[in-house]
A = this chain, B = another copy of it.
Amino acid sequence: MNWDQFFVPYEQTVTELKVKLRGLREQYEQDGENSPIEFVTGRVKSQASIEEKIIRRHLDESRLALDLQDIAGVRVMTKYVEDVYRVVELLRERSDFQILEERDYVMNAKPSGYRSYHIVIEYPVQMYHGEKKVLAEIQVRTIAMNVWATIEHDLRYKHGNELPADMAEQLTSLADENFEWDQRVSEIRAAE
Give the number of residues in A that approach B within 8 Å (Cβ atoms).
55
CB pair A27 B12 closer than 8 Å: yes
CB pair B4 A15 closer than 8 Å: no
- A188 to B96: give the CA distance in the assembly, Å: 44
Instruction: Say whether A159 faces chain B, with CB atoms less than 8 Å apart.
Output: yes
Interface residues of A in 147-192 (CB under 8 A from B): 147, 150-151, 154-155, 158-159, 167, 170-171, 174, 177-178, 181, 184-185, 188-189, 191-192
- The prevalent SS among residues of A at the interface is helix
| Residues on the B chain within 8 Å of A19, using CB | 15-16, 19
| Residues on the B chain within 8 Å of A8, using CB | 23, 26-27, 30
Given A158-B192, A192-B167, A126:B174 Cβ within 8 A: no
Q: Report the minimum CB–CB distance from A70 to chain B (whole Å).
A: 20
CB pair A27 B181 closer than 8 Å: no
| Residues on the B chain within 8 Å of A34, using CB | 154, 158
This chain: how many copies in the complex? Answer: 4
- A96 to B189: give the CA distance in the assembly, Å: 40
CB pair A155 B95 closer than 8 Å: no
Given contacts A79-B154, A155-B192, could you give 4 more A-B pairs where the C-beta distance is less than 8 Å? A8-B27, A12-B26, A24-B128, A143-B150
Interface residues of A (CB under 8 A from B): 4-5, 8, 11-12, 15-16, 19-20, 23-24, 26-28, 30-31, 34, 38, 79-80, 90, 93-96, 124-128, 130-131, 143-144, 146-147, 150-151, 154-155, 158-159, 167, 170-171, 174, 177-178, 181, 184-185, 188-189, 191-192
What are 10 inter-chain pairs, A to B, with CB distance below 8 A? A5-B31, A8-B30, A12-B27, A16-B16, A95-B126, A96-B126, A144-B144, A155-B192, A177-B177, A177-B181
